[in-house]
Structure 1
Amino acid sequence: MISLATLALFLLAVLALFLSPGPNMAFVLSHGVAHGPRGGFAAALGISSADLVHTLFAATGVTALVAAWPPSFDLLRYAGALYLLWLAAQALRSSGGGLPAGARAPSSAFARIVRMAFLNNLVNPKALLFFMVFLPQFVDPARGSVPLQLVQLGVMLSAAALAFNTLLGACSGQVGRWLQRRPGAEKFQRGLLALVMVGLAIRLLLLDRPAMPSALSATPVQGS
């Protein structure tokens, strides 16, 4: 069982991470602007779902096995960049990037955004390595099963991410609704979405593979 002191430290660290601009924040904001609050929530849901998968990978050792194979980082980032560029092309080709003011994203659009956010997070090699390096720092082997503690931490991180990104999506969604009342709003929203996807793709392509020895041999910190 994770101690309250360790849990408090973990949540503070997670909050600091959420407040730092990153690809997930950009993904949620852009989809909130383009599709309204419901679109922002869909992006948040997809990201948190992928976080749960990353947690399971870290807890079962899958992430360590992937990281130990040198070509995996490049394969993941190239796949992720290609996927993001495809999303950018889809946004530009779409006949309806935004929604009328006050409208709800249809179920098909909602599911599509969830799927896009899920896959975008899942194939991000930095996210994969983050869960392998970050979560074990808050695990104390003396307090029970290490995999179980990793899962508990990952679930809490995913829930916190869902709450934070949902709020972020709601705020950006209100901006999107305001833009819908302006001339040329749909074209602007589609262009913004495509621009963000291209920017995230370039970011992935420019990533350097981090040094992994410390990650693979990291010693968990002791909880109080």
Structure 2
Amino acid sequence: MIGLATLSLFMLAVLALFLSPGPNMAFVLSHGVAHGPRGGFAAALGISAADLVHTLSAATGVTALVAAWPPSFDLLRYAGALYLVWLAVQALRNGGIGLRMGARARPAGFGRIVRMALLNNLVNPKALLFFMVFLPQFVDPARGSVTLQLLQLGVLLSAAALAFNTLLGACSGQIGRWLQKRPGAARIQNSLLAAVMLGLAVRLLFLDRPSPR
């Protein structure tokens, strides 16, 4: 069982992590603005689901196996970058359709946004390595099963991420609702979404491969 002092330190570290701008924050904000609070919540749900998958991978040693094969980092980031570029193209196409027809672009479905957020997080090699490096720092082998402690920490992180990102999505969603009342809102929202996706793709392409230790 994890001690109270360790849990407190862990939650403080997690809060600091959430408050630091990163790809997950950008993903939630952009989808909240583009699709409203419901879209922000869907993005938050997908990210938290991916965090649970990363936790299971770290606890069972899958992450370590992937990290042990150097080309895996490049394969993951290239796949992730291509996926993000595809999302950007889809956003621009939706905006274009809405503009040509003189109507709002049709918002993406809830399940689709969840899947997009899930896959975007899963193909991020930095997220994979983060769980391998971050969680073990708060594990004490003297307190029992290391695997169980990793799972407990991962579930806590995922739950905290869901709460934080849901709030973030709700706030950005209100901005999205305000924009919808303005002329050309669909074009602005989808252009913003496309720009964020392209920015995340470029970020993935220029990630430094971790040095072998």
What range is the shorter-chain TM-score in? Answer: over 0.9
1:143-154 → structure 2 map (5 Å cutoff): 143-154=143-154
Corresponding residue of 1:17? 17
Amino acid at match of 1:75: L
Query: Does residue 82 in structure 1 map to residue 82 in structure 2?
Result: yes
Corresponding residue of 1:221? none
1:162 & 1:122 partners in 2: Cα distance?
A: 16
Identity level (%): 83
Corresponding residue of 1:190? 190
Question: CA offsets per residue over residues 44-74 of structure 1, 9 Å max, x none?
Answer: 0000000000000000000000000010000
2:119 & 2:29 partners in 1: Cα distance?
A: 17
Question: CA offsets per residue over residues 179-203 of structure 1, 9 Å max, x none?
Answer: 0111110000010000000000000
Does 86-95 or 21-30 show the bigger shift?
Answer: 86-95
Q: How many residues align?
A: 207
1:70 & 1:178 partners in 2: Cα distance?
A: 46
Corresponding residue of 1:62? 62
1:1-224 → structure 2 map (5 Å cutoff): 1-94=1-94, 95=97, 109-213=109-213
Give 1 or 2: higher helix fraction. 2
Is there any run of 5+ residues in structure 1 with no aligned partner, and where?
A: 214-224
1:96 & 1:46 partners in 2: Cα distance?
A: 26
After the TM superposition, list the runs of 4 or more consecutive aligned residues in structure 1 that deviate by more than 4 angstroms.
Answer: none
- Taking structure 2 as the reference length, the TM-score comes to 0.94
Question: CA offsets per residue over residues 99-151 of structure 1, 9 Å max, x none?
Answer: 97xxxx6xx70000000000000000000000000000000001110001000
1:210 & 1:35 partners in 2: Cα distance?
A: 36
1:203 & 1:80 partners in 2: Cα distance?
A: 10
| Residues 1:160 and 1:96: Cα distance change in structure 2 (over 3 Å) | farther
1:78 & 1:115 partners in 2: Cα distance?
A: 19
What secondary structure is seen at the aligned counterpart in 2 of 1:208?
coil
Amino acid at match of 1:188: I
Over the aligned positions, Cα root-mean-square deviation in angstroms equals 1.6
Amino acid at match of 2:12: L
Is there any run of 5+ residues in structure 2 with no aligned partner, and where?
A: none
